[in-house]
Amino acid sequence: MKFYSTRGGAEAKNASEAIVKGIAEDGGLFVPERFPDLSGALEEMLDMDYADRAAFVLSKFLEEYDFDALSEACEKAYSLFDEDAAPVVKLDDNLYILELFHGPTLAFKDIALTLLPYLLRAGCDNVGIGDEVMILTATSGDTGKAALEGFKNQKGVKIMVFYPDDGVAEMQRLQMCTTEGDNVNVVAVEGNFDDCQTAVKKIFTDETFKKRLKEEGVIFSSANSMNFGRLCPQIAYYFSAYCDLVSAEEIGMGEKIDFAVPTGNFGDILAGWYAKKMGLPVNRLICASNKNNVLTDFFATGVYDANREFYKTMSPSMDILISSNLERLIFELDKRDANATAEKMKLLAKTGKFSVSAAQTAQLKKDFYANFCDEEECANVMGNFYEEYEYVLDPHTAVAVGVYDGYACESEERPVVILSTASPYKFAADVYEALTGKKETDAFTAARKLEKESGDPVPSQIEELKDKPIRFTKVAKKEDLEALVLAFAAKK
């Protein structure tokens, strides 16, 4: 299968090349030439475990990868999780939670980032690349740690993570800044996530800078969901959730269901839309934003306008105004006219906004419902949900529940799967206050009190952070990132 840039200014690549490069030379994102039809394979997938389902879905895109090796890599990756990598929990009639936080770093990013090291290394081997690979990643909280954990101590790879200073939760910061490994580096950046992401994209598309690194035997790749190797494994858990519901006789084969997804950079929900294009019986995807509700306005009006106030919220992984993966959806909306998509992205870079037609807006509304949940509502959702179901939500998942509640009031009732994207213990202070009304500023004390309140044990990944030394304290301006990347690349 070939992969094309959403902006049309790069040669077609195979899957290995697309994953190794991460971002196309023209700044666009790689998209598959077609969406494999798996509608007739759902029955076959019912008896598979999660790793087998993941390998099956991935193999339809990664055609030059050896299937047996891919299956083995999936088994190895998902053995790092709790008993099930992506269990579906029934809470009520037609209400289900897809728990995606059972991996090494307690966030849904683990689903892809435990597997990406294999996809990248095998991709390099497939195309005959022997250079050292430099992974550059901008993170709004969870991607950073998941990528660091996946790539630490991997031979032939260095990874550098940039996160917004004072823009992530304390547990997220500690998870990143205490990471072990000689091949990792973490830098806080003055500004917000969009500043980090824009700076990383600029580095990726600077041909002079890339040539300079190439002379040192180093090439770039990315662990953000801009990389198709990050996005592709996420498609699998939509198929897996559906198969689990059919196997449990909660739904009939072919019955359409909804998915509610907390959304920031648009990768998680785009994976669900890709699954629908591949034949999964999805009715609508519920796009849930926090107070940074640029996506809500886009789906309502057809105008994407990032010229607005940026808010720091209790769901920091969604504090994003430039949702990079939306570009892949726009490309499909433009009927794969790369020139039209490139023009919109130029307008976004130059003016902070672009628009789609009224007909395109109407088309989007058939597949998506979009709304947002502010801070007060998010806290109320966490408290009320715990009171009703004795189930503890993290703030990101609470946003999805809050938006789904509004959707359910105005739509036909059907089964919904809400994607739970992080452990509540990563945001213990906010969750504890929402459940009890009591403030606790120390993250570890809040975690212990939340454990006492809920009866759910504090994960070992959180407990061990208390005694880990902080290795990374650097705070940089965004214009200094190139020099920092160059210095790290040269470090032996």
Cα 333 to chain center, whole Å? 21
Contact call for residues 69 and 382 (beta carbons, < 8 A): no
Contact call for residues 284 and 367 (beta carbons, < 8 A): yes
The 3 state secondary structure assigned to 302-352 is CEEECCCCCCCCCCHHHCCCCCCCHHHHHHHHCCCCHHHHHHHHHHHHHHC
**How do strand 353-355 and strand 303-305 relate by DSSP bridges?**
antiparallel
pLDDT at site 31: 98
Tokens 């992984």 belong to 317
Render each residue's pLDDT in the chain as its tens digit; 492 residues: 999 999 999 999 999 999 999 999 999 999 999 999 999 999 999 999 999 999 999 999 999 999 999 999 999 999 999 889 999 999 999 999 999 999 999 999 999 999 999 999 999 999 998 889 999 999 987 889 999 999 999 888 999 999 999 889 999 999 999 999 999 999 999 999 999 989 988 888 888 988 888 888 889 898 988 999 999 999 999 999 999 999 999 999 999 999 999 999 999 999 999 999 999 999 999 999 999 999 999 999 999 999 999 999 999 999 999 999 999 999 999 999 999 999 999 999 999 999 999 999 999 999 999 999 999 999 999 999 999 999 999 999 999 999 999 998 877 789 999 999 999 999 999 999 999 999 999 999 999 999 999 999 999 999 999 999 999 999 999 999 999 998 998 887
Eight-class DSSP state of 107:
B
Count of other CB atoms within 10 angstroms of residue 11 = 10
pLDDT at site 201: 87
Architecture of domain 92-101+229-465: 3-Layer(aba) Sandwich (3.40)
Which residue of the set 13, 21, 109, 145 is catalytic?
109
Tokens representing 341? 């998509």
| Burial class of residue 397, CB neighbours in 10 A (0-12, 13-18, 19+) | buried
Q: Is 155 a residue of the active site? A: no
What lies within 8 Å, CB to CB, of 208 at 6+ separation is none
pLDDT at site 216: 82
Cα 485 to chain center, whole Å? 23
Phi, psi of 175 (to 5 degrees): -60, -45
pLDDT at site 53: 98
Tokens 């697309």 belong to 18
| Burial class of residue 434, CB neighbours in 10 A (0-12, 13-18, 19+) | buried
Cα 354 to chain center, whole Å? 23
- Global confidence as pTM: 0.95
Alpha-carbon span 252 to 245, nearest angstrom: 8
Contact call for residues 373 and 286 (beta carbons, < 8 A): no
